[in-house]
Amino acid sequence: MNVSKTSLGRSFSHSFLKSFSRSKLFLKGNMWIWPIAGTILLLVLAFIVRSVVEQSSRQTVSDNLQTILNADVAALNIWLEREESLAEVLANESRIQKLTNELVTIDQQNPDDREALLHSKTLAELRNEFKSEMEHLGYLDVGIFSLNGRVLVSSRDEPIGRADLPIQKSALEKVRQGKATVTRPFESLFARKTDSGEIKVGLPTMIAMAPVKDDSGAVVASLALLIRPDINFTRILSVARAGQTGEAYAFDQDGLMLSQSRFDEELKMIGLIPDREDSHSILNVQIRDPEVNMVSGNRPALRLAERPLTQMAAAAVQNQSGVDVNGYRDYRGVPVVGAWTWLPEYEMGVVTEMDVAEAYRPLYLLRYSFWGLFGLLAAGTVAIFIFTVIVARKEQETRRAVIKAKRLGQYALGEKLGEGGMGVVYRGHHAMLRRPTAIKLLDIEKTTDEAVARFEREVQLTSQLNHPNTIAIYDYGRTPEGVFYYAMELLEGINLDDLIKQFGALPESRVIHLLKQIAGSLSEAHSLGVIHRDVKPANIFLTHRGGVYDFIKLLDFGLVKAVDGREQASLTSTNSMAGTPMYLSPEGISHPDSVDARSDLYAFGAVAYYLLTGTTVFDGSSIIEICMKHTQEQPETPSRRLGKPVSEDLEQIVMQCLEKDPAKRPQTAAEILQALSVCQLDGKWTIQDASEWWKHKMQLEVTSIQSASQFKPALSSKVDATLIVNLSQEE
């Protein structure tokens, strides 16, 4: 069963590839090219639009983040300034100043006596003054600190006399300088009730501080308003945020989160804070990069203390404000975009962030839409391509049916005489004239529309040649099924290449007789602007006409060049160029696009050399070597090659034709014809000589006709001259 499936698969693949090869879709300009072009255009436009939209989206996200950050920072500054102002107002009250100065004096007189402070009348009076502030403004406590941070006044006795509160040194320094400030959040050393009624220490606390002055204006102490940051500070940062995943928070120089995260429940799930009801992110979360997305269930490889600050925090603590819309990991490992700034006067940073997935959701939708359209168009292109292949197969079947019917317009087809890379040659005849004809069907699968059009032009041009030594083209056309054909005279005989291979070098008189006919054909063609481009023995046919033997027919005036250039190149490299390079002119090798009639005359000289000596002008182990010799090496004279004398006048004509410089050659075929006509041996090859040679040849063919017919039709059975030439080129 496996073998059967493999065989079926190979059979299908072979059938499809064969149909694809035959269809020549790439060369026909069929409708499949438009979806391809459309797909490519859409792809280019998609990338351009995607780039523009993505850039616009990034700019929009950047602007939104910056706007939210600015709003958060502005609101935060307003609140901080308000708290500073309230502290200043209270610190500047005359009674507060008077009582504070008295208490500072008591502290200075008894620096280590906590009891002196606790039992002083001044402490009780200040507590009474601050009671209303605590009740109406909602502060945790209102107190007085000495300039070295010792607690002088508090609503409770526990803090009195303590000097170890974790207050920022920079905040105390500002107070000494006479400025009000607000500390960043820190963990309180003293227990207080939570919202649930529990008594706990280490709860978040902020302090608004303002200097208290004496009568001379000197700062003697600091008034302190204790604030709950989890209510006021965090609430301000949570007012403005982006979308469902956006959040704004503050952090300190060490990357400690100073405000409440909106993801506390999520942080408990991934283990960044303890899974307890009273656990909160403020002062408990480090803004460090876990290097994996913990929300997706991944576990970081590094311990918390070993993890680096997030990309945002690392920049912010360096006092660098910025926006990142390309994306970075936050403290959960989630890809986010963000904008941040550093507030040096408070020694903390503020950031607003949003998940990348939410920030670019419209962009992703647009991107998916583009790729969806592109996929649909690509699928449509493939469908059209497959449909075109199927249509091409049907066309092939139709063309084969036309050929099988043995009729092309007015021409009835007979036996197939041969087949080559360019097409098939049939014996045929015109339905009305009954004239024997060689009909060549061009393989439309191996030619382009441009090549066929060029072929038609060259057939039209060649049909204008009426020299008796030029092959006569009777007709050409194209069937409704797309089969292109042309009809020409059917010849009996042999081409000069086979002639020399079978019978060897020719007598000089016969060579002159044949060359004059070739020159006559070329002379007419050149006068009409037709350059043969492929003069060689295989394209020169020897036949007889009306009892005249040794009659030359020059074949294929540029018709072979109608084959697609790439295919011709491959034929050249494998088969047909085995003969052709022997007759290429130097300029035909170095400048093939600029050849003129004189290139035909060089090839004419090479043919003459071949007829005289039975060898080509140059030989070599490779095409490149032969071509190099044509362009650089001087040929031997025929007499030197043969090792015996050759008529000086004939040898001179041959060697002049083989000059490297076209200007040194005869300039026209008419000049060569005239020179041949005055050769000493001109006219020495008689009709009787030709007749006897052909009788001898026919006798040889009769004895071998049976064996020859097994390979190809016998020459005596009216073998098509064009077939022989083309097969020698194509096979």
> Rounded CA gap, 296 and 298, in Å?
6
What does R_g of the chain's alpha carbons equal in angstroms? 52
pLDDT at 16: 41
Range with the poorest average pLDDT among 172-176, 274-278, 416-420, 482-486: 416-420
Mark whether 417 and 501 lie in a shared domain.
Answer: no
Average pLDDT over residues 159-186: 91
CATH classification of the domain holding 305: 3.30.450
Of 455, 489, 523, the last residue of a domain is 489
Cite the DSSP H helix spans in 591-686. 597-613, 623-632, 638-642, 648-657, 669-677
CA 352 to the chain's CA centroid: 38
Q: Is the pTM of this model over 0.75?
A: no
Q: What tokens appear for 142 in the block?
A: 């209102």
Start-to-end CA span in the chain (Å):
41
How big is the CA angle at 521 (ends 518 and 526), to the nearest 5 degrees?
120
The boundaries of the domain holding residue 328 are 241-359
Average pLDDT over residues 403-410: 63
Average pLDDT over residues 477-501: 82
Is residue 33 a part of any domain in this protein? no
pLDDT at 406: 60
Confidence of residue 570 (pLDDT cuts 50, 70, 90): very low
Is residue 398 a part of any domain in this protein? no
CA atoms within 13 A on the CB side of 728: 21
Mark whether 578 and 721 lie in a shared domain.
Answer: yes
Cite the DSSP H helix spans in 405-529. 449-462, 496-503, 508-527
Q: Within 10 A of 160 (CB to CB), how many other CB atoms are there?
A: 17
Is residue 688 a part of any domain in this protein? yes
Of 205, 227, 249, the last residue of a domain is 227
Q: Mean of the per-residue pLDDT values for the chain? A: 81
Mark whether 579 and 681 lie in a shared domain.
Answer: yes
- DSSP for residue 330: -
pLDDT at 467: 92
Mark whether 622 and 528 lie in a shared domain.
Answer: yes
Tens-digit pLDDT profile for residues 294-314? 999 999 999 998 999 999 999
Of 227, 254, 281, the last residue of a domain is 227
pLDDT at 407: 66
Mark whether 117 and 221 lie in a shared domain.
Answer: yes
Mark whether 620 and 515 lie in a shared domain.
Answer: yes
pLDDT at 496: 92
User: Quick check: 17 pLDDT over 90?
Assistant: no
CATH classification of the domain holding 660: 1.10.510.10
Range with the poorest average pLDDT among 190-199, 320-329, 597-606: 190-199
Find out whether 564 and 605 touch, Cβ atoms under 8 Å.
Answer: no
User: Quick check: 26 pLDDT over 50?
Assistant: no
CATH classification of the domain holding 144: 3.30.450.20
Mark whether 543 and 665 lie in a shared domain.
Answer: yes
Is residue 461 a part of any domain in this protein? yes
Mark whether 482 and 510 lie in a shared domain.
Answer: no
Between residues 479 and 208, the one the model is more confident about: 208
Is residue 601 a part of any domain in this protein? yes
Mark whether 481 and 629 lie in a shared domain.
Answer: no
Give the burial string for 576-602 (b: 16+ CB within 10 Å, else e).
Answer: bbebbbbbbbbbbbeeeeebebbbbbb
* 117: phi then psi, degrees, rounded to nearest 5: -70, -45
Element (H, E) at 135: helix 121-137
Mark whether 204 and 102 lie in a shared domain.
Answer: yes
Confidence of residue 675 (pLDDT cuts 50, 70, 90): very high
User: Quick check: 36 pLDDT over 80?
Assistant: no
Is residue 722 a part of any domain in this protein? yes
User: Quick check: 113 pLDDT over 90?
Assistant: no
Is residue 3 a part of any domain in this protein? no
Mark whether 582 and 668 lie in a shared domain.
Answer: yes
How big is the CA angle at 391 (ends 386 and 395), to the nearest 5 degrees?
145
User: Quick check: 240 pLDDT over 80?
Assistant: no
pLDDT at 9: 45
pLDDT at 443: 67
Most confident of 83-92, 359-368, 541-550, 589-598: 83-92
Beta-bridge partners for 342: 349
> Rounded CA gap, 690 and 582, in Å?
28
CATH classification of the domain holding 408: 3.30.200.20
Mark whether 661 and 716 lie in a shared domain.
Answer: yes
Domain count of the fold of the chain = 4
Is residue 483 a part of any domain in this protein? yes
